[in-house]
Amino acid sequence: MKNISQYIPLHLSIFLTIGVLIGYYVYIPTGYLVVSISIILILLLVFYTLSRKFTTYNLLSQIFSYISILLIGIASISFQDKLRQDTHYSHFISETNSLLIQIEKRLKPTVYQHKYYAQIIQIDSIICTGKIVVNLSKDSLNGTLEVGEIYHTKSNFQAINSPLNPYSFNYKNYLQKQGIYHQIAIKSVEIIGLPIQNTTLKTLAAQWREKIQTSLQKHPFEENEMAIINAIILGQRQRISKNLLNSYAGAGAIHILAVSGLHVGILFLLLNFLFKPLEKLSKGNHIKTSLIILILWGFALLTGLSGSVVRAVTMFTFIAIGLAFKNERSAVLHALITSYFILVLIHPLFIFDVGFQMSYTAVLGIVLLQPKIESVLPRIGLYFPRKIWQLLSVSLAATIGTLPISLYYFHQFPGLFFLSNVVIIPFIGIIMMIGLLVVSLSILELLPNFLVEIYGYILHAMNSFIEWVASHETFLFRDISFSIFALMASYFFIIMGYRWWMKRKTPQLLTFFIAIVLLQIVFIYEKYHTENSNEIVIFHKTKESIVGVKEGSSLQLLYSIDSINRNKTRFINTYQVGSKTTRNKSTNTIPNLFNYKNKKIVVVDSLGIFQNISFRPDIVLLRQSPKLNLERLIQEYQPKTVLVDGSNYKSYIKQWKETCKRNKISFHYTGIDGAFVMK
């Protein structure tokens, strides 16, 4: 590991990542990229040829190789942009579309809809490509769609909406990073299954999972136990209840439910242990490695070849190959970097995936930090205390690696994560082994009742323990504000701290102090920015009016309902976390007049009273569906903007929009345009 800084794939990975980020956030025409890459590759070839004869050209050869990788990273985003492909369905959308679609993945349903990812096969008579979200209403027929089946339907494409309130989860952006730009909404009677076979690996895997689930349902597993089997063994989380999901999140064990690096890593360790006797045979090491890789990819196929599992299996495939060498930790680190480079080269949008980021930072944390953490205490002689400390050191190393990312995305930190991980993770291997045995025997119809009872008891005990840990909310630190700059500064701090810890020399200590100062500067600047920024926000909430007045780090809420239910207005908590504010006052009345930063806002409610105003308002806020003559109001007071929130009837909103359009007045409806924010 001493020479890891000289490992060429590490340098290439850094420049590839920078290129992908540039390509995603900066639009560069494809023609320019092709010309630039061609020129750079020619120069690279020239300088590489010269460097073989004259060492003075080595540096130039290296520089142009890095530039070429950077350009390839930029181009990879451009070339994988589905919208630029001539066969993409978006080029053939009409008012009424006759569609052939193949269901690719079943998603977690909502109260009113089943949800799926589907591949577009044909629009009208045009063969095309692209993925969409299918929303199927839960009607009296209670129809569901089967993964791998092809269906015909007629529907209009709908854009996927951006979040309507500040700092809310951007589902549109999330889907775009998976190449999905539209959705359709249909009923059971509007879709017809077709007897067309289009078998793929994913459809075969889906059919196997359906068979497994059908066979398991013949046995008396409880609902939550069945949900855990589906999640851990089959990679399907759709059946997990919201309460159980929240319990795992609160206990810091949500990663247990998502088949990814943890499960593949545990399976890898188990296989490595089981096949260890093969090493004694001639070429036994190669046989062992081949078997491990084959079984890992079989597990990936069983779980549906989801992105997280494919990434994890690819990573551990390289690790399995790397472990053929003597220096295990060095081999793992090299394999980790190489797998990262190849995965990002093939699928550049992986770097935006939270699971991808957390898998690699967790494994990096374990490989680099765990030996140093374990060595903090003197070697413990007793077996069980030593193993507990090893587990704690692994958990702590993985947590340090993933903590900045976890705080940035999830804004919470489970204080009892040590307890849940130390107790649960050692048993995940047992749960997976027994689970695979249960699944195999169930398919063969040989599953004995005593094994069902034992396995059900283990799963029930795990769920009960997780619920007990999650019930101690005192140890769950929620709503932690953590920005992208804090994320980057934190990782700089961790890296510099690790360098100093390894070498303990003055240069490393100096850079560590610089990292500490930089982290402090980020926190001080963000606090200063929060204290010196003010804004007023008209939030969107159906049938209600909510206004937020932010002054520094305090937030005052004005609303039209008797009380604000936290579960129904989580966007308020999300806004507070994102804006780093604390709610200091709430009032269930909204005044008819705001005078905010020299902007005059008149509020017209259900009474429709707006006469006797002695000034021209900049903004008119309409709420609770007032019966008024908007044409007359505009002509009399000439406001710059008419603002409409979610408390109004949609029929009124449509009329008001037409009126504003005729009078060339700016119209803002929070249900489409999002919350209105005035800085």
**pLDDT at position 567, please?**
47
- pLDDT over 70, % of the chain: 93
Confidence tier at 563 by pLDDT (50, 70, 90): very low
Token pair for residue 505?
A: 């020399």
Task: Between 468 and 521, name the one with better pLDDT.
Answer: 521
Task: Between 408 and 53, name the one with better pLDDT.
Answer: 408
**pLDDT at position 564, please?**
54
User: What does the DSSP assignment read for 424-458?
Assistant: HHHHHHHHHHHHHHHHHHHHTT---HHHHHHHHHH
C-beta of residue 544 within 8 angstroms of C-beta of residue 560: yes
| Structural domain for 47, as ranges | 4-79
- Same structural domain for residues 374 and 291? yes
Out of 184-193, 340-349, 527-536, 553-562, pick the least confident: 553-562
SS3 per residue for 533-550: CEEEEECCECCECEEEEE
Establish if 375 belongs to a structural domain: yes
- Same structural domain for residues 587 and 669? yes
From first CA to last CA, the distance across the chain in angstroms is: 50
Residue that the structure tokens 């283990």 belong to: 458
Q: 77-82: long-range contacts (C-beta < 8 A, 24 or more apart)?
A: 77/20, 77/23, 77/24, 77/348, 77/349, 78/23, 78/28, 78/30, 78/33, 79/30, 80/179, 80/347, 80/348, 80/349, 82/129, 82/130, 82/131, 82/179, 82/181
Three-state secondary-structure class, residue 414: strand
C-beta of residue 225 within 8 angstroms of C-beta of residue 457: no
* Mean per-residue pLDDT over the chain, rounded: 84
- pLDDT over 90, % of the chain: 22
C-beta of residue 599 within 8 angstroms of C-beta of residue 615: no
- Same structural domain for residues 21 and 165? no
If you count DSSP H runs as helices and E runs as strands, how many of each does the chain have, helices first?
Answer: 21, 20
Using CA atoms, how far apart are residues 416 and 535, in angstroms rounded to an integer? 37
Token pair for residue 232?
A: 């851990």
Task: Between 28 and 614, name the one with better pLDDT.
Answer: 28
Using CA atoms, how far apart are residues 588 and 17, in angstroms rounded to an integer? 49
Task: Between 27 and 326, name the one with better pLDDT.
Answer: 27
Task: Between 91 and 329, name the one with better pLDDT.
Answer: 91
**pLDDT at position 443, please?**
85
Burial of 239-270, coded b for 16+ CB within 10 Å and e otherwise, reads bbeeebbebbbbbbbbbbbbbbbbbbbbbbeb
Using CA atoms, how far apart are residues 313 and 315, in angstroms rounded to an integer? 5
Residue that the structure tokens 């993409």 belong to: 88
Confidence tier at 537 by pLDDT (50, 70, 90): very high
Q: Would you say residue 425 has pLDDT above 80?
A: no
Establish if 203 belongs to a structural domain: no
Q: Nearest 5°: phi and psi at 659?
A: -65, -45
Going by their DSSP bridges, the two strands 666-669 and 641-644 should be labelled as parallel
Q: How many CB atoms lie within 10 A of CB 559?
A: 21
Q: Where are the alpha helices (DSSP H) in 185-255?
A: 201-216, 223-232, 242-250
Going by their DSSP bridges, the two strands 546-551 and 534-538 should be labelled as antiparallel
Which residue, of 439, 462, 477, is where some domain finishes?
A: 477
- Same structural domain for residues 493 and 640? no
- Same structural domain for residues 259 and 400? yes
Token pair for residue 208?
A: 């196997």
Three-state secondary-structure class, residue 192: strand
Q: Which of 618, 633, 676, 627 shows the shortest CA–CA distance to 648?
A: 627
- Same structural domain for residues 378 and 289? yes
Which residue, of 148, 166, 198, is where some domain finishes?
A: 198
- Same structural domain for residues 455 and 582? no
C-beta of residue 485 within 8 angstroms of C-beta of residue 416: no
Question: % helix / strand / coil in the chain, to the nearest 5?
Answer: 55, 15, 30
Task: Between 200 and 213, name the one with better pLDDT.
Answer: 213
Q: Nearest 5°: phi and psi at 76?
A: -60, -35
Which residue, of 531, 565, 600, is where some domain finishes?
A: 531
To which H or E segment does residue 99 belong? strand 97-106
Q: Would you say residue 140 has pLDDT above 60?
A: no
**pLDDT at position 151, please?**
92
Q: Give the total number of structural domains in the chain.
A: 5
**pLDDT at position 46, please?**
85
- Same structural domain for residues 645 and 666? yes
Q: How many CB atoms lie within 10 A of CB 567?
A: 5
Confidence tier at 417 by pLDDT (50, 70, 90): low
Beta strands in 540-607 (DSSP E): 546-551, 554-559, 582-587, 593-596, 599-604
- Same structural domain for residues 337 and 447? yes
- Same structural domain for residues 8 and 126? no
- Same structural domain for residues 304 and 403? yes
Confidence tier at 496 by pLDDT (50, 70, 90): very high
Using CA atoms, how far apart are residues 595 and 610, in angstroms rounded to an integer? 16
Q: Average pLDDT, stretch 170-191?
A: 89
Domain with residue 160: its CATH number is: 2.40.50
C-beta of residue 293 within 8 angstroms of C-beta of residue 317: yes
Going by their DSSP bridges, the two strands 131-137 and 180-186 should be labelled as parallel
Q: Average pLDDT, stretch 409-434?
A: 76
Task: Between 610 and 58, name the one with better pLDDT.
Answer: 58
Q: Would you say residue 503 has pLDDT above 70?
A: yes
**pLDDT at position 512, please?**
94
Q: Would you say residue 370 has pLDDT above 60?
A: yes
- Same structural domain for residues 489 and 408? no
Q: Average pLDDT, stretch 42-63?
A: 81
**pLDDT at position 178, please?**
83
Establish if 84 belongs to a structural domain: no
Q: Would you say residue 341 has pLDDT above 70?
A: yes
Q: Average pLDDT, stretch 251-262?
A: 71
Q: pLDDT (tens digit, 9 = 90+) per residue, 9-19?
A: 888 999 999 99
Q: pLDDT (tens digit, 9 = 90+) per residue, 219-256?
A: 888 888 888 888 888 777 777 888 888 887 777 677 67
